[in-house]
């Protein structure tokens, strides 16, 4: 059985960017996660200990979003690392970090970085 937990469009106001002005004024960001984890037991037990807590995941992401980074790639890598360290039962993670309305000379809705990682357990 393939089991996944999806958290969509977690929204944060953070201070990430290459330009100093971005790190001073901040911007809106979203984070999307697709977590693969063996939680078949939770389908029977109805016990949070047999799966991954959305609240804990959100708090971990919120903490990493509060630490300024120049690159979205670096930020995404930090989020992946903390998730895997906290939840060693993860078998795969797909993560999208999106900067809304990036400060460019043209009209653009957003810019995203997507990282996917599969773990051998």
Sign of CA dihedral 33, 37, 40, 44: negative
Going from the C-alpha of 101 to that of each of 7, 16, 27, 108, the distances in angstroms are 22, 13, 8, 6
Interval 2-13 mean pLDDT: 93
Q: Is the pLDDT of residue 80 over 70?
A: yes
Task: Find out whether 93 and 116 touch, Cβ atoms under 8 Å.
Answer: yes
How confident is residue 104, by pLDDT bands cut at 50, 70 and 90? confident
pLDDT of amino acid 1: 62
CATH (one of 3.30.590.10, 3.30.1130.10, 3.10.20.30, 1.10.340.30) for 4-100: 3.30.1130.10
pLDDT of amino acid 50: 87
Query: Global pTM?
Result: 0.92
What residue ranges do the domains of the chain occupy? 4-100
Residue that the structure tokens 């509060």 belong to: 66
As annotated, the active-site residues are 99
Q: Is the pLDDT of residue 2 over 80?
A: no
């Amino acid at each position: 059985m393939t089991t996944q937990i999806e958290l969509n469009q977690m929204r944060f106001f953070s201070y990430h960017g290459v330009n100093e002005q971005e790190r001073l004024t901040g911007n809106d960001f979203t984070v999307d996660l697709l977590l693969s984890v063996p939680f078949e037991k939770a389908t029977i037990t109805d016990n949070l200990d047999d799966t991954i807590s959305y609240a804990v995941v959100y708090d971990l992401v919120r903490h990493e979003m509060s630490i300024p980074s120049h690159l979205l790639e670096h930020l995404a890598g930090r989020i992946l690392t903390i998730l895997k360290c906290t939840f060693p039962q993860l078998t795969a993670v797909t993560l999208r970090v999106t900067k809304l309305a990036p400060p460019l000379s043209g009209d653009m809705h957003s810019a995203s970085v997507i990282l996917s990682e599969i773990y051998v357990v």
